[in-house]
């Protein structure tokens, strides 16, 4: 009915908190966070301002990382994690999901990332991170090779579309928003165009990441 932290039993809560404190996981999380900032700065700002707004209105909420714009994270522990073809339909439709591969396996023989709609099969070695619009792009990963000692896990970061709707509905459910006689300022098509508009173009990115000429 409203945004909230996932309800975990005391044992799982302690385990999750311990995982978040791991330096390696923090680095993986913030690498994905920084990657979005570099390659999709407008989307980064949308995620950041939305999460900031939600947390400002409810001080009981706890972010995974204070300096990270993703609202949620999951870990698929494996030990030979394989995702079947799917979309993450509850994520923000035009948003990005960060996927990081973890483990020890031969990426030439298994663990490939498959983007079905783009007809791409991508070698995805341990430690790799990719950001994709997982709500609308069908994706999966290939099983590992025949070596039984190979291991693969996955670390995922994302934000649910309902969080953005909650903010647009002035921090209430859509049902309550409509019951109060309120209306969205944009149609569904206009909202989609606005969402697509936060994607960055290469020419725009080049002006942001081009290093300044060194002084002679």
27: left (phi over 0), alpha (psi -120 to 50) or beta: alpha
Cβ–Cβ under 8 Å, residues 123 and 112: yes
- H helix or E strand, kind and range, residue 26: helix 23-39
Kindly list the structural domains of the chain, giving each domain's residue range(s) and its CATH number in brackets, ordered by start. 10-167 (2.60.120.10)
CA distances from 31 to 7, 23, 38, 41, 64 (A): 27, 12, 10, 14, 14
CA distances from 170 to 1, 64, 88, 140, 177 (A): 14, 24, 25, 36, 8
* Dihedral sign for Cα atoms in the order 121, 127, 130, 136: positive
C-alpha 209: how far from chain center: 22
Tens digits of residue pLDDT in 109-135 = 999 999 999 999 999 999 999 999 999
In this prediction the pTM is 0.90
How far is Cα 173 from Cα 158, in angstroms, rounded to an integer? 21
How far is Cα 128 from Cα 22, in angstroms, rounded to an integer? 18
- H helix or E strand, kind and range, residue 131: strand 129-132
For the cut 60, the answer to whether the pLDDT of residue 30 exceeds it is yes
pLDDT of residue 146: 81
pLDDT of residue 216: 39
Tens digits of residue pLDDT in 63-101 = 999 989 999 999 999 899 999 999 999 999 999 999 999
């Amino acid at each position: 009915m409203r945004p909230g932290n996932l309800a975990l039993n005391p044992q799982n809560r302690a385990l999750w908190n311990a995982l978040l404190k791991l330096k390696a996981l923090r680095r993986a999380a913030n690498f994905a966070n920084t990657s979005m900032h570099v390659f999709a700065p407008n989307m980064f700002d949308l995620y950041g301002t939305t999460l900031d707004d939600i947390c400002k209105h409810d001080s009981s909420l706890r972010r995974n990382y204070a300096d990270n714009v993703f609202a949620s994270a999951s870990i698929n522990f494996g030990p030979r994690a394989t995702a079947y073809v799917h979309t993450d339909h509850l994520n923000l439709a035009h948003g990005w999901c960060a996927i990081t591969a973890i483990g020890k396996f031969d990426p030439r023989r298994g663990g490939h990332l498959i983007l079905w709609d783009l007809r791409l099969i991508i070698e995805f070695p341990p430690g790799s991170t990719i950001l994709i619009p997982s709500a609308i792009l069908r994706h999966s990963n290939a099983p590992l090779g025949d070596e039984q000692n190979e291991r693969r896990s996955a670390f995922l970061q994302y934000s649910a579309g309902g969080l953005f709707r909650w903010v647009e509905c002035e921090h209430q459910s859509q049902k309550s928003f409509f019951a109060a006689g309120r209306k969205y300022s944009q149609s569904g098509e206009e909202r989609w165009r606005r969402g697509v508009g936060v994607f960055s173009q290469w020419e725009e990115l080049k002006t942001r990441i081009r290093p300044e000429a060194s002084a002679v």
